[in-house]
Structures are given as structure tokens and as C-alpha cells.
Amino acid sequence: MTSASVGYVRNTEPLDADKKDFYSFQLQAEDCGGRVSEDATVHVQVNPVCRRGLTGLSSYAYRLLDVSAS
């Protein structure tokens, strides 16, 4: 993770829930007057990627019905 001077934190590489599903780190904020905040802990939960399509249904047969022809 990296932070930018404009106030946001972003990942520096793609996150993969299969490799690591939770990150925790501390950061501080500094305003333009040089005042620094106390430490804040940030927790990031990485969820698995949702894949399109039906899964786990290989034992079933499906048929699409054309209802527009009626």
C-alpha cells in the first residue's frame, strides 16, 4: 500500500483474497500547517472476485424457452 500527499491510500499491486484476505496498517495525517494526527489503524478486508456464470450446477440440464413466440 502507498499513500499520496492528497489524502488517499491505494494498493501498489493487485490484491488476491486467495493469497491474503486481510491487511492492517497504521497511518498518520498531516495538514498544510504541519500538524500531525495521532496514529489511526486501517483494516482492509479483501473479498474473493465474483465470477460471472453459474457454478456448481454441472449435474443439471438447462433449457432456454422462447416465450416471445406466443
- For the question of whether the overall pTM of this predicted structure is more than 0.75, the answer is no
DSSP assignment letter at 45: E
Cell of 14: 493487485
Domain ranges of the chain: 2-45
pLDDT at residue 22 is higher than 90 = yes
**Section 41-52 average pLDDT:** 86
| 2 φ, ψ (degrees, to nearest 5) | -140, 155
Please, which residues have CB within 8 angstroms of residue 4's CB and are 6 or more apart in sequence?
10
- Give exposure, 28-48, as e/b (b: 16+ Cβ within 10 Å): eeeeeeeeeeeeeeeeeeeee
Per-residue pLDDT, 57: 59
